[in-house]
Amino acid sequence: MKYKVFSFISFLFYASSIFGQDNTIHAVVTGNVFNLINKKIELVLDKGNKVMETVLTTEADDKGNFRLEGELPAPDYYMFKLADGQYINLVIKGGDTVKVYGDGKNLFNFSNIIGSEASTQLNEFLRYNQFYSAKLDSAKLYLKNNPGQEQVVNQSFKPVFDQFKGYRQRFIANNNSSPALLATVYTFSLEKEFLSYETVVKQLYSGFGESPTAQRVYKEYEQNKLLAEKNKPFQPGSAAPDFELPNPAGEMMKLSDYKGKVVLLDFWASWCGPCRKENPHVVHLYETYHEDGFEVFSVSLDKDREKWIGAIAKDNLEWNGHVSDLMFWQSAAAKLYQVSSIPHTVLIDREGNIIATKLRGYQLEQTLKSIFGH
């Protein structure tokens, strides 16, 4: 599925192994759960690697009233668990009494938490995510049984996905730096939504950094960031992928033809307003540094050959490196360089390695000054 969001409920709480210092807190959880078949109630910590630790236990009376009280390892996330395995998630910071009221037949969907707004918000998001995940699973199942319908399924599921993203965005805005943000962490695609994931993790850590779980999530984020940077294409120092496209005369030109020069690979189009506004500055830089070994290799995302050639002349783009396959966003070079918006630039050194990407205006000018010394 194109619109992939990871289910969260089944692996929500991993407690960090960081319990070196004494952060114990005194906890009081009281309330009432009706429709109980078994009166046993526990407060459980999932320590990761399938290790579950029961930290407090009690039995409700015949009316479902209960009281859990004692010492907990740290301010953290805990599972309020019934004997049949049902549970809800509690944020317990210590010092306050948290009250839980619920239905023993369906605790997850029918429960009310008093004294911990973060717990209330966290479980509210998890309930919505369960609803969304059910729709996602249904779409996946349909696609599995009808593999030729991917485009249709993606189009029909897009409004559902957009609605989920809108809800998640509002939730994050309304719960700035709250422990409740943990519920959203694993709903992001690290490939497509890393910046949003990063923002949420940093907010979570700033608001509940004393939590071993928040500490673990932050360390996990740091590892993910290193991995993302390592795997990210077009990093400084990496080789610029070569390609070949025709110029306006139909002659084939390669990027590698410019090896030995400092090259600005410039993705643009005649129909792109920001590109046209940037062109005079690129012309100025070309005229300033061309004799020092600076070249511009322009790749147009045009569809109309005459408009492409007309824009070259009108903007006085005097360099020889102009190529295009006139394939618009399907341009082979644009796909190779994962161009999703223009103008898009890649500055390449004399050995054919990438110096930087997306340099424009003042930043591009200062970089060239540092390279050529004037």
Both 248 and 357 in one domain: the answer is yes
**What distance in Å separates the CA atoms of residue 283 and residue 365, rounded to the nearest whole number?**
12
| Structural domain contains residue 91 | yes
Both 91 and 202 in one domain: the answer is no
The reported pLDDT for the residue numbered 26 is 95
DSSP state of 242: P
**What distance in Å separates the CA atoms of residue 301 and residue 276, rounded to the nearest whole number?**
13
For 139-174, the pLDDT digits (tens) are 999 989 998 888 888 889 999 999 999 999 999 999
303, HSE (Cβ side, Cα atoms, 13 Å): 4
For 253-286, the pLDDT digits (tens) are 999 999 999 999 999 999 999 999 999 999 999 9
Both 190 and 258 in one domain: the answer is no
| Structural domain contains residue 180 | yes
Counting Cβ atoms within 10 Å, is residue 184 exposed (0-12), middle (13-18) or buried (19+)? buried
| Structural domain contains residue 358 | yes
Both 129 and 118 in one domain: the answer is no
Q: 366 pLDDT exceeds 50?
A: yes
**What distance in Å separates the CA atoms of residue 44 and residue 47, rounded to the nearest whole number?**
9
| Structural domain contains residue 5 | no
Both 256 and 348 in one domain: the answer is yes
Both 89 and 31 in one domain: the answer is yes
Strand-pair category, 87-92 with 76-82: antiparallel
| Structural domain contains residue 1 | no
For 99-121, the pLDDT digits (tens) are 999 999 999 999 999 999 999 99
Both 28 and 60 in one domain: the answer is yes
C-alpha separations of 263 from 25, 228, 290, 315 in Å: 61, 26, 10, 19
pTM of the predicted structure, to 2 decimals: 0.63
Both 117 and 131 in one domain: the answer is no
Listed residues 209, 231, 253: the one ending a domain: 231
| Structural domain contains residue 2 | no
Both 255 and 360 in one domain: the answer is yes
R_g over Cα of the chain? 29
Residue 216 lies in domain:
125-231
For 214-229, the pLDDT digits (tens) are 999 999 999 998 888 7
| Opening angle at CA 351, ends 346 and 352, nearest 5 | 35
| Structural domain contains residue 3 | no
The reported pLDDT for the residue numbered 51 is 82
For 24-45, the pLDDT digits (tens) are 999 999 999 999 999 999 999 9
| Structural domain contains residue 198 | yes
Q: How many domains does the chain have?
A: 3
Both 360 and 312 in one domain: the answer is yes
Q: Kindly report the average pLDDT of the chain as a whole number.
A: 91
